[in-house]
Structure 1
Amino acid sequence: MAIFSRGKDNRKRQGESRGPNFARWLIALLVLSAIPAALFARPHVRRLEGDLREWVLNHPYFSVQEIRVRAGEKVGGSEIVAMAGMSQGMNIWKIDPAAIERKVGRHPWVKRVLVRRELPRRVVIEVEEREVKGIAVLGKLYYVDADGFVFKEVEEGEKSDFPMLTGLRREELASHAQAARQKIREALQLIDMTKGSALTLSEIRFTAQGGLVLYPMSYPVALVMGWGGWQAKLERLERVLAMWKGKETRLVSLDVSFRDQVVARLRKVQG
């Protein structure tokens, strides 16, 4: 029986069976059988020890009866079991947790996976999924997670109401992946810092000069940030925008990339 559950609670479920003592006796017998071989190293004793080991490792008592999957919302339990190549009745000793982790880890939504055997007949697969923080515009649209990984193309019908990351270059992501991810992580901090405020973001643009330009949802104003010192710059922006309350449409941009000042560029007045 396969059990699929959501969440990441690693604690043992109350009331779960620990299995009968038969498994402990078999393992103890296997360990004890190795002692004479180690002490006397006689061929017939070694054969006996090998036969007993083979009998224990292939005994039906150790056939998998339960595959428990703990995952999120994006990857189904049956899909994970299929990727793992597992089925009921497999011998638990012949299951390679590391190999299964590599297989399941190839799925784009999977951030981390842990597989463990629980003797005598259970296998547990725990999956941590990626959390989308933004969408990178690279010709097509791609999801970006909190670690700065561009991990999956946004397909038709999938959720797309995330801040857009523009100005990124494919060649930079390919040739300087580590540095590019670090830049994206830095930029994503601004999404969390402005979320729920008047500066909630719809777009972050990476400039050729190495800075950022923010486009808030509430104002038709480009916010030129430069790089770093986000908190102090956001506070300056909020003070200036409060002064322009009701007249924001006159602003083209606010530049806080200069220390201790804000440079405002205004729209030309018609007529």
Structure 2
Amino acid sequence: MSTLTIGKQSRITLGSKRKKRSNSFRTQKRTTLSNTRKRPQRRLAGIGQFMVRCVMLMLTLSLVAVLGVGLLFGYRYLTTHPYFELKEIHVTGIDRLNRGDILKSANIGLGLNCLDMNVGEVEQRLSANPWIESVTVRREFPNRLRIGVEEKVPAFWIRQGDGLYFADASGRVIAPMHPGEMASLPILTVAEGLDEGPAVLRGILEKMKEKKTPFTQSQTAWIKLTSAHELEIYLDGHAGGRGLTVRFGTDQWETQLERMKVVWRDLLRRNEFKDAAIIAASGEKIWIKKREPSEG
């Protein structure tokens, strides 16, 4: 009995395995058939999506092209329309230069289209003028332009080679002096290697302007900054044209100027000022060189 039971169980077991294998084969076959049917559908869907993307891309490019042409046409229309033609150009801040000089340097004029004009380029052209320190250019639509100019102010004449040049308060050359130009300025001479030179020049001119010196710029014939670090000023109208030289050290010139003013007033009070040929500061002292009797 036990042997038969084992045999039956064995048959049953074998039979169940065959059924499982058969079912598994059928399932795999169905899955394979199902996948085979889905692949063409997926390919068709992928092709469709690609075509849609191509159409959308073409539509986008067409739209961009239409917009570009429209913007270009609009720009050309606005930059040639008479409504934006310049009818007013206001120029302020000029003294030495005149309106014609400004318009010529800027290369602009009435009738120019306000939109077509490049403000940055106009400012660059004006800044290239040697007499212009700074400039601002501003459009006021539809047809007005404002130009604000700050000119360089000449304070000296300075010699370079055989020519005479205008120079500013720091001693920087501005432009050559041309025949027919009139000005009353002192001649400046500066020794090489004086780093303090520009600051000293600006300072003494500011003192003159504020009337804090016993002499004025108009009385000054020349100014020298020497290699000995001294500031020399020659006043040609002193003592009936006999002249007076004033000398300071560049490192203490402001303090020495205050001491010199005391001596200056004392000479005037004693009626001895006309006899002075040189008034010089040396350290904390002020010394005076009187005129030779033959110079009187």
Q: Taking structure 1 as the reference length, what is the TM-score of the superposition?
A: 0.69
Give how far 1:212 is off.
0.9
Q: Deviations over 1:26-46 (max 9, x none)?
A: xxxxxxxxxxxxxx9812221
Q: Which amino acid aligns with 1:72?
A: I
Q: Deviations over 1:206-256 (max 9, x none)?
A: 212222112234353222201133332112112112222222343332221
Q: 1:122 aligns with which of 115, 135, 144?
A: 144
- Alignment of structure 1 residues 222-233 onto 2, 5 Å: 222-233=245-256
Pairing 1:262–2:253 present: no
Quote the residue 1:83 is aligned against.
105
Quote the residue 1:183 is aligned against.
197
Give how far 1:87 is off.
3.2
Q: Deviations over 1:82-117 (max 9, x none)?
A: 222223343333322222122122222211111222
Q: Which has the higher contact order (CA 8 A, sep 6+)?
A: 1
Alpha-carbon distance in structure 1 between the residues aligned to 2:128 and 2:136 = 13
The ranges of structure 1 where at least 4 consecutive aligned residues each deviate by more than 4 angstroms after the TM superposition are none
Q: Which amino acid aligns with 1:256?
A: A
Alpha-carbon distance in structure 2 between the residues aligned to 1:49 and 1:262 = 82
Alpha-carbon distance in structure 2 between the residues aligned to 1:208 and 1:64 = 55
Tell me if the contact between 1:133 and 1:188 (Cα under 8 Å) persists in the aligned partners. no
The 1:221–1:64 alpha-carbon spacing in structure 2 relative to 1, beyond 3 Å, is closer
- Report SS of the residue matched to 2:285: coil
- Report SS of the residue matched to 1:213: strand
Alpha-carbon distance in structure 2 between the residues aligned to 1:103 and 1:45 = 40
The 1:48–1:71 alpha-carbon spacing in structure 2 relative to 1, beyond 3 Å, is farther
- Alignment of structure 1 residues 2-81 onto 2, 5 Å: 42-58=60-76, 59=78, 60=81, 61-81=83-103
- Report SS of the residue matched to 1:239: helix
Tell me if the contact between 2:154 and 2:174 (Cα under 8 Å) persists in the aligned partners. no
Alpha-carbon distance in structure 1 between the residues aligned to 2:177 and 2:110 = 35
Alpha-carbon distance in structure 1 between the residues aligned to 2:216 and 2:113 = 53
Alpha-carbon distance in structure 1 between the residues aligned to 2:66 and 2:138 = 30
Alpha-carbon distance in structure 1 between the residues aligned to 2:170 and 2:223 = 16
Give how far 1:123 is off.
2.6
- Alignment of structure 1 residues 232-271 onto 2, 5 Å: 232-245=255-268, 246-258=271-283, 260-269=284-293
Quote the residue 2:238 is aligned against.
218
Pairing 1:199–2:221 present: no
Pairing 1:209–2:209 present: no
Give how far 1:185 is off.
4.3
The 1:168–1:231 alpha-carbon spacing in structure 2 relative to 1, beyond 3 Å, is closer
User: For this pair of structures, how many residues does the alignment match?
Assistant: 221
Unpaired runs of 5+ residues, structure 2, are 1-57
In our comparison, the structure showing a higher alpha carbon Rg is 2
Give how far 1:159 is off.
2.8
The 1:124–1:56 alpha-carbon spacing in structure 2 relative to 1, beyond 3 Å, is farther
Alpha-carbon distance in structure 1 between the residues aligned to 2:135 and 2:289 = 50
